[in-house]
Amino acid sequence: MYFNRDFKYDLLIGNQGENIISELLKDSTIEVKMDFLAHRTNNIFIEYISRNKPSGISTTLAGFWFYIILKRNTNRDPKNITIHNVQDIRFFKVDKLKQICREWLKYNKPIKGGDNNTSLGCCIPLSLL
């Protein structure tokens, strides 16, 4: 493995990474989900049906989905959620996330969730993502 102790080299590598992310998201649509339970369950819930109609991942027009995993005891008032409440952020190409959900559903039952448990979704372990 190649090691380099030169900060200028590391800076160039970091800048190239920023360019890749910028190019990846340029002209892309995104959807962002806030997850208040993933810190405890170590899963993310990916909704695909709500109130007996397709929704969530099955209807999104976004190219990328971001999951913001919030820290324990984060206040659910949107005015109080800040960067300081973030434990982790994961993002996925929607096509890849759909593939992960389809695979999960081959071996697992849909999980009820959402408001009043009116949604169905996949509960994917963070360790698999």
How many residues comprise the chain? 129
Q: Cα(91)–Cα(16) distance, rounded to whole angstroms?
A: 19
At 75, which helix (H) or strand (E)? none
Q: Is the pTM of this model over 0.75?
A: yes
Q: Write the CB contacts of 54 (distance below 8 Å, at least 6 apart in sequence).
A: 48
Per-residue pLDDT of the chain (129 residues; tens, 9 = 90+): 566 667 787 788 888 888 888 888 888 899 999 888 899 999 999 999 999 999 999 999 999 999 999 999 898 888 889 999 999 999 999 999 999 999 999 999 999 988 789 999 999 999 988
**Smallest Cα–Cα separation from 33: which of 48, 53, 18, 22?**
48
